[in-house]
Amino acid sequence: MTYSRLYGFLLKRWWLTFILMGVSFVLFGLVTLNLLHTLSANLEFLTSYGIEAVREGGLMQLIELVVSGYAAAACYVFFKLCEKVLVERLATRKTGVES
């Protein structure tokens, strides 16, 4: 199986992968904090007030919330990549190392 260059980079630097995994976990938490509640309130605002809500910036806020959702998803995917790298490193035996 052929891995990407990013995967190979992370596999060689497990300590950096561990740090990046923690950072991506914290970023995921910060970005998603209250995101669903805010999105729900924004959609309610847009449906209740219509064009007036758009004039007040409701549509722009909706776009920002969707972008935040995708940023959270990217952080989660990166967290899962780091997790896979670290689990694979722990689960596989190095060549030349006797147990």
Cα–Cα distance measured from residue 13 to residue 24, given in angstroms and rounded to the nearest whole number: 16
Amino acid occupying residue 61: Q
Task: Give yes or no for residue 98 having a pLDDT over 50.
Answer: no
Question: What was the pLDDT predicted at 23?
Answer: 97
Cα–Cα distance measured from residue 9 to residue 71, given in angstroms and rounded to the nearest whole number: 22
- For 29-69, what is each residue's pLDDT tens digit? 999 998 999 999 999 999 999 999 999 999 999 999 999 99
Structure tokens at 88: 């694979």
**3-state secondary structure (DSSP) of residue 85:** helix
Structure tokens at 35: 């995101």
Q: pTM for the whole thing?
A: 0.80
Please give the DSSP secondary-structure letter assigned to residue 3.
P
